[in-house]
Amino acid sequence: MNPNQPQPASMPELLTVSPSPHARRGVTTSRLMIDVLIALAPAAVWGVAAFGPRAALVLLLSVASALLAEFLAEKLLRRPVTLRDGSAAVTGLLLGMNLSADVPLYIPVVGAVFAIAVVKQLFGGIGRNVMNPALAARVFLMLAWTGGMTRFSAPFAYLSSGVDAVASATPLASLKGGMLPDASLADLFLGRCAGCIGEVSVLLLLAGGVYLLVRRVISWQIPVSFLGTVALLTFVFPQGGADRLSFMAASLCSGGLVLGAVFMATDYVTSPVTGAGRLIYGCGCGLLVVFIRYFGGYPEGVSFAILIMNALVWYLDMLTRPRVYGKTRGRRGDRKGGGQA
């Protein structure tokens, strides 16, 4: 608005004209984001417990840089500052949880700035980003500093003094070699294995997911179809002569799969809005994860899979558009109905 322009002579504001919906639940962005933060907290706390103070530092740097980047980017672009909605904090925390505790400390900072400034703000800010900012930043970091991003130390290694940062193979690296990981299934499920800070504890991530489901922050379609597809494919096509069931279980419990399926793929902005669309989207993610894990160059494919499916969200929404009341489905109906855009 231009303050120099004379306002039209005081018009009485009697009616508020707005498009539907008129009845709203009291759901705000900040409430949703706080719920996501609550759901992420147990897994993050476990990550800090398992990988030591260094993990806490990585998480802290990531969140702080995300908030700072959001503030600066919005100031520079002359947009209203939206720090209070918590979305930048969620992005920062998700990014931090997707990093190993042993990354050089510039990695969370650069990643958070890339996520917020480039992937989110340059595309128009909250609600307008095409890809999940935290994941896009993770992939950017992965391509930029592959060496720094793929150093993992064993859990609780920081407790045994004297030895610093015992490098440890992640369960995924073993799976990539066609072997079952050294860690037992219980270790994988509870999070006693090497990996990124927030991805190791499947139990706590699932608990967070159940919380989000109960609070109706996320719907079941994406996590279920995502994990289901991976489960099905790894059960039908186990690798390296392993026992089907244990291979499937190990595949489901290792890497960032659960974190991705519950917290990343379900991001509102970058996932389809229709139920059927969400099912297809989840299946696509699962399919791509298995393909990348089996045939790709990287041991983990969750980030790439979700980003690729993010790019298809618009198409999935178009494909699964529900029938407009009073019209027949399909092209002809649309034309009759006066060209639905």
Return the range that interacts with another protein (CB under 8 A); candidates 117-125, 250-258, 318-326, 332-340: 117-125
Return the range that interacts with another protein (CB under 8 A); candidates 37-45, 54-62, 120-128, 179-187: 120-128
18 binds another protein (CB under 8 A): no
For another protein, the binding residue among 49, 118, 206, 224 (CB under 8 A) is: 118
Count of residues that interact with another protein, criterion CB under 8 A: 16
At 167, give phi and psi (nearest 5°).
-70, 145
Residue 104 vs 296, nearer CB to another protein: 104
DSSP symbol at 19 = P
Closest CA to 108 of 67, 141, 143: 141
Subset of residues 236 to 295 that bind another protein, contact rule: CB under 8 A: none
Return the range that interacts with another protein (CB under 8 A); candidates 23-31, 88-96, 122-130, 155-163: 122-130
For another protein, the binding residue among 106, 237, 268, 315 (CB under 8 A) is: 106
For another protein, the binding residue among 42, 60, 68, 148 (CB under 8 A) is: 148
Minimum separation from the CB atom of position 122 to another protein (A): 5
The long-range contacts involving 141-149, CB below 8 angstroms and separated by at least 24 positions, are 141/99, 141/107, 141/110, 141/111, 141/114, 142/298, 142/303, 144/110, 145/104, 145/107, 148/103, 148/104, 148/107, 149/99, 149/100, 149/103, 149/107
Task: Compute the distance between CA of residue 309 and CA of residue 285 in angstroms, rounded to an integer.
Answer: 6
Task: Compute the distance between CA of residue 278 and CA of residue 274 in angstroms, rounded to an integer.
Answer: 6
DSSP, collapsed to helix, strand or coil, labels residue 167 as strand
Minimum separation from the CB atom of position 101 to another protein (A): 18
Task: Compute the distance between CA of residue 128 and CA of residue 125 in angstroms, rounded to an integer.
Answer: 6
Minimum separation from the CB atom of position 135 to another protein (A): 14
What residues line the site for another protein (CB under 8 A)?
2, 4-5, 77, 104, 106, 118, 122-124, 140, 143-146, 148
